[in-house]
Amino acid sequence: MQSFSALFQPYTFRSGVHVRNRLVLAPMTTWSSDPDDSVSRAELDYIARRSKGVGLALTAVTYVTPNGKGFQGQFGAEHDHRLESLKALSQAIKSGGARAVLQIFHAGHQALPELVGNDVVSASDVPPPASPFRSDIPVPVRALSRAEIQDIVLDFGQTTRRAIEAGFDGVEIHGANGYLIQQFMSSHSNRRTDEWGGSLENRLRFPLAVIEEVKRVVATHAPGPFLVGYRFSPEEAHEQGLTMHDALNLVEALKDQGLDYVHVSLSEYAGQPRRGDDLERTRLEQIAERLGAQTPLIAVGNVWSPEDALQALHLGASFVALGRALLIDPEWVQKVEAGRSQDLQTTFSVHDREPLTLPEPLWNLLTGFMLKDRLTQG
């Protein structure tokens, strides 16, 4: 029988934070905040259950400033009055033995206009790509001023301070999935002619400024070990978008930042590049090689079985994030560790919302996609 012991090796990060294994709860949006954007009881129950086996639990993404809110049902971390809400979230995660990491972002041009007073901002006035969660009507986008850019950098720092005060073990800077930090990185969405745009060096300036400010706040406010991670997407599908060349240059810059880890956002952990110099090897292999052994790499993307997770480690990841696998089987980690992989749940029925401890908005989305698939196939 195949051994999965590699998935259960403990690890101590550069900052001194220790985790019990190499498995991570992926940051999954639940659309389940209370009406005032505080963390709901349903989300607390959902994440507490799924934190009982993993070493590291990443929250759904939260916004650092009011005009950075991306979608309905998103919990906030933009003001100090969010501290009690954030404390409840960190405690729910840590009650299961996992380390708690708050994922932080600004949505940029992916913000819904009605959530940000119809003032949607980005690196440049380039509208967002089409999305199933957004109407087909083009969204007017305003380019951020230099002063606003500096203010948002500081907002990332202030949210990091709140995470420290709320008892989290770290923050993950969300520079992936087309949100504001990635918008500055991409030559498609960043068409500025000042110091924040143009060359790759200038387009890197914003993510590196955010990292620097977050690290400064940690050094000032954290009483003990505190993680700083960074998530990025390696490629964009549209013309002038990010390429593997851009991603590998970003990785070169990130490896010098003293980060605890880098988290690559992939839809398929073993997927190959769309374009680039090396189309034969997986993105994961190339990124791991460029990052080197000093900075751990978290991989995610279509990991369902323990065999998938092992393969991700073999391709160069140090940690493996579980998303949909933990939605469908919250005890995935415990079963694998106990040698019960044959008992893993891989399907669900319309009666399973409460047994799976899933918030209703997330459940409605899952069952909606399930129904859509049936209609498409039928």
pLDDT digits (tens, 9 = 90+) for 293-352: 999 999 999 999 999 999 999 999 999 999 999 999 999 999 999 999 999 999 988 889
Entry field: residues in the chain: 378
Fold for the domain defined by 5-345: TIM Barrel (3.20.20)
Sequence-ordered list of residues with C-beta below 8 angstroms from that of 95, at least 6 positions apart, any chain: 48, 51
For residue 310, which phi and psi values (nearest 5 degrees)? Answer: -60, -40
Q: Tell me which of 372 and 192 has the higher pLDDT.
A: 192
Residue 179 annotated to the active site? yes
Q: Are 57 and 97 within 8 A, CB to CB?
A: no
Of the candidates 132, 111, 129, the residue with the CA atom closest to the CA atom of residue 120: 111
pLDDT digits (tens, 9 = 90+) for 152-191: 999 999 999 999 999 999 999 999 999 999 999 999 999 9
pLDDT of 125 reads 96
pLDDT of 309 reads 98
Of the candidates 10, 90, 11, 106, the residue with the CA atom closest to the CA atom of residue 57: 90
373 pLDDT more than 60? no
pLDDT of 250 reads 96
Q: Name the pLDDT band for 368 (thresholds 50, 70, 90).
A: confident
Q: Are 303 and 321 within 8 A, CB to CB?
A: yes
Per-residue pLDDT, averaged over 189-201, amounts to: 96
374 pLDDT more than 60? no
| DSSP assignments along 190-240, one per residue | ----STTSSSHHHHTHHHHHHHHHHHHHHHHH-SS--EEEEEE-S--SSTT
User: Would you tell me how many other CB atoms lie within 10 Å of the CB of residue 238?
Assistant: 11
Give just the sign of the alpha carbon dihedral 46, 47, 51, 53. Answer: positive
Q: Could you say which of 46, 179, 230, 261 is catalytic?
A: 179
* Domain ranges across the chain: 5-345, 347-378
Paired residues of 173 in beta bridges:
104, 230
Sequence-ordered list of residues with C-beta below 8 angstroms from that of 67, at least 6 positions apart, any chain: 106, 111, 116, 117, 119, 121
What one-character DSSP code corresponds to residue 76?
B
